[in-house]
Every structure is written in C-alpha cells, then in structure tokens.
Amino acid sequence: MRSGGNTATLKVNALVCQNCGERFYHADTIRKFEDIKSKLERQETQDLIPVGQSFEVA
C-alpha cells in the first residue's frame, strides 16, 4: 500500500473468488489497512520496519 510518499508491504489472509479473482478481506484486516495508510500519510513510520530503499527515476 502507498500513501504520503511511502510504501508499506504486508502479508494478509484473503478469500479469492475462483471466477473473477476478486479478493475479500476480513473486517480486522481492512481496519489494519486503514491504520497503516493513515500512519503513512502522517509520516508516522517509526513503528514500521525499514526494508531496502526505493528510488525514483526521472
């Protein structure tokens, strides 16, 4: 997920439709997504684990 110029990667469980591939997430997982996105927007990344680096090519 991306927000505030930052990217966070997380593994979650999801149900996947066998016909169209749409993913369905548990309500707790959606709340976790919203919490992480909010933290990224506010640049509150101190409790996230840094992994590698990202670069933008002009």
- Digit-coded pLDDT (tens) for 8-58: 999 999 999 999 999 999 999 999 999 999 989 998 888 888 888 777 798
Pair 35, 48: CB distance under 8 Å: no
pLDDT of residue 7: 87
Q: What is the distance between the alpha carbons of residues 30 and 20, in angstroms, rounded to a whole number?
A: 20
Give the model's pLDDT for residue 26: 96
Q: Which of 29, 26, 38 shows the shortest CA–CA distance to 10?
A: 29
First to last CA, the chain: 22
Give the Cα separation of 24 and 20 in Å (integer). Answer: 12
